[in-house]
Chains A and B, each alone.
Chain A
């Protein structure tokens, strides 16, 4: 999963600080592993270097000054392209897809589009495997069967996620 792109998604609704971004990231995606500060600032530096975010001023507080970051037009385009592009169908995609769905909901984009574009990519790969199976020998058939069952499991997850989008929206935006 891309941490810089995820932070970009969290900055899409409005400017924020590194500390708040980390808290928001951990709240949505850090169930198993919270994001270390070093990784937050490394990702923000990369986004700044690539012109996808800019500094939006400094705020004085009780502690050190806090930098505010804001997404740029190029950042919004980069985020949209990432959300609209299906991932290569493979095992263990769920965390990336879950992130994309949550970011789509947070930034007011269509989470159903994210899931449907992935669904179309999965089914396309299943078509290719089915074709290969019909043309191949028994060994090829068994290998394709294995891949087909895994892709089917992903697709069932995508369908269930699509059916739960409204519930997830309520939870994410609460």
Chain B
């Protein structure tokens, strides 16, 4: 048990099953995420790790099994309830394509706060602080198409963290970046998450990315294995 595992889990999946047509993605997957920890979810392509993340985040509803976020049973919530949970409590970073191309980087980062009802001036001031924190203050007025891949991912991390979520879901966040930019994104993401006490679910097949985690689990054939208990 790592130092971050004191207390009950913040997010827990139990016995998840999910199929897409004849393809089984999850076959009894169980995993726990503890407050403030960075958990790497590893596994080969097609093993079910992204489906697991989508179920944990309330994006996908499993065919069987449960997901609990604190006292809330996510798998029994309405679509609107899950949507509200995602906006208020969770942040997301994907491999690419997550920024709105028509908006500036500043407007992209401010968007989650605007959706939560904050005034434009306040939302943009907070977004500016996050862009500076992620070392991309200079791209505030540019559109996503005008910045590099590494800068774009740092803007995406700023957007995921601007509401100070309790859980950040990062699906292959460095998958489209070179080693140096990938390293920078991981450093900034994990530092910022630790400062705000956010837990991170980090889906990756890259060991150098997983090395930023506190603990790793491996998904194989739709089942989760906690390899940290073997050592």
Contacts and interface: CB of A to CB of B under 8 A. Distances in A.
B208 interface: yes
Nearest to A156: B207
Nearest to B231: A120
Interface residues of B, number: 17
A49 B115 CA distance: 75
A97 interface: no
Dominant SS among interface residues on chain A: helix
Interface string A118-159: 011111101101100010000000000000110110011001
Interface in A69-101: 86
Q: Give chain B's interface secondary structure class.
A: mixed
B211 A116 contact: no
A1 interface: no
Interface residues of A, number: 24
Contacts of A134: 187
Given A116-B230, A117-B231, A162-B220, A155 B213 contact: no
B207 A116 contact: no
A152 B225 CA distance: 20
A45 B84 CA distance: 71
B70 interface: no
B185 to A, nearest CB: 14
Contacts of A149: 208
B207 A120 contact: no
A126 B212 CA distance: 9
Contacts of B208: 126, 130, 148-149, 152
B107 interface: no
A124 B231 contact: yes
Interface of A: 86, 113, 116-117, 119-124, 126-127, 129-130, 134, 148-149, 151-152, 155-156, 159, 162-163
Interface of B: 44, 187, 206-208, 210-213, 216, 218, 220, 225, 227-228, 230-231
